[in-house]
Structure 1
Amino acid sequence: MRLVFAGTPAVAVPSLRALADGPHEIAAVVTRTDAPLGRKRVLTPSPVAQAASDLGLHVVKADRLDADVTARLAALEPDLGVIVAYGGLVREPLLSTPVHGWINLHFSLLPRWRGAAPVQRALIAGDTVTGASVFQLVAALDAGDVFAEERYDVPAGATSADVLDALAEVGAPLLARVVDGIADGTAVAVPQEGEPTVAPKLTLTDGLLDFSADAASLLARIAGVTPEPGAHTTLDGARVKVLRAAPADPAAPPLDPGRVAASGRSVLVGTGTSPLHLRTVQPAGKGAMDAGDWLRGLRTSDVVFGS
């Protein structure tokens, strides 16, 4: 088949490479325009753009799949559109332009976590099992029939970045098999079953830690928002990022929610239940540092997050 592929971040690259290694022709790769990165804000191609260039594929850069992009893709007469984390919606008439429409690799077990941040929302909710789904794209959000899915057990302590990287590798061969099945007529999609949940894009507020919550919920939130938008709190009105934390030793002394104290070689912070062990923090305007070094540098024993 003649394929058009749409994707932008690094998690879409394994799928692009898997399709490029297969028997199908990739007529075009659509990705978002170059973005300013780093302190010098240098315009940088997306990971998908770079991978497509390395593979010698035709690249179309666009932040919206508008009438111009639709016309350019229609001229290629594609049999199938494939989308993996492009960062924009496919609407009519583009949705119906390929002979077989579009399929999407989505990083959840649908209908759980439809939306832009399925892995992040799953971890925040404390899900211990997630997965990847390949489904037929329809106008409604992530509501199409599912061709295939793969379950994935979330490792203890894994962040959203860890899980996304793993699902990108799990999902690539899954997607390639579905494309092959559509080509030879063996692929069968079935309606989604169960109560949908939604996974809207994270905002900075999603990373704000409320230390009156229980320890497990706080660890789940830290995992879900790492690396973006990042877990954070305040101290004397200044933001402090919490980059790494873990359950404290069961014998750790109790602490009031938000209070930070040294206990042996550990730095603890109180929660609504048992304390957490702070490992790595990042104060405003500084780099990441060991929580013990940070606490000693404050030269005070009266440290309460949220102040």
Structure 2
Amino acid sequence: MTDEATTGVEATGRLVLAATPMGDIGDASQRLRDALGAADIVAAEDTRRTRSLAKALGVEITGRVVRFDDHVETAKIPALLGNIADGLTVLLVTDAGMPSVSDPGYRLVAACVERELAVTCLPGPSAVTTALALSGLPVERFCFDGFAPRKSGQRRAWLRTLITEPRTCVYFEAPHRLADSLADAVEVLGPDRRVAVCRELTKTYEEVVRGTLAEVAAWAVDGARGEITVVVAGAQPKSVDPTDLVDEVESLTAQGLRLKDACAQVATANGASRNELYDVVLAARRDDEE
């Protein structure tokens, strides 16, 4: 463990993750401005956008600017690790928001940690926490699922994992898939689950549409543009009598599923205790034998 990575003590070389504005240039921190001007190497998801950002901030980048996006990330890591080991400061920035959060950076951070090279972070804008704050939904506990799967079948399978998820879930979606994504959510999660769709956060045309899944899905049919972040309310706890689930379990076992697996599947889908359901099924079988 390296103290430099967690306490901010000066190290010989280091990786610096820096959050960049999502839209409003005024969200740029002074620390970001200083880091852009002082870094030996600026690893940028889009070098042109980073240079434009620096110009808008009135900052001159004196270090070397290198491309670091999803297509070249793996290939660029060895050289950047060598630079840091040699005592240079590498500043990692993405197009908007926090590096490594559904953006390039995670693999580089992991590689630095493995080699015990110092890593620090300049916090700032994040679409995840901004959308959560604006959603009007309970956010004491939440989960972040990155981008929703592109294909409907995979998306529905993912949505099924949220049927009994008690935490509010936030995820990213492409604007041209939003309507289909919300339609799938209505089918899987039901029309009454609360949702907030946040569009173009911090930008001129920022918009937050709140309502039930059915209401917001109907709104999305007309199309939406820009960066989309979706926040879905967690499942409400259900009071389920395990005896009402016995037939469902037996139907699955008749199809060849092991009893324990059938109980686990049915219990998860209905918010019941799998152990209690297992005991109830065994008791029902004994009663039938008598």
TM range, normalised to the smaller chain? 0.3 to 0.5
Greater strand content? 1
The structure where helix makes up a greater share of residues is 2
Highest relative contact order (Cα 8 Å, sep 6+), 1 or 2? Answer: 2
Q: TM-score of the superposition, structure 2-length normalised?
A: 0.36
Asked which structure has the greater CA Rg, the reply is 2
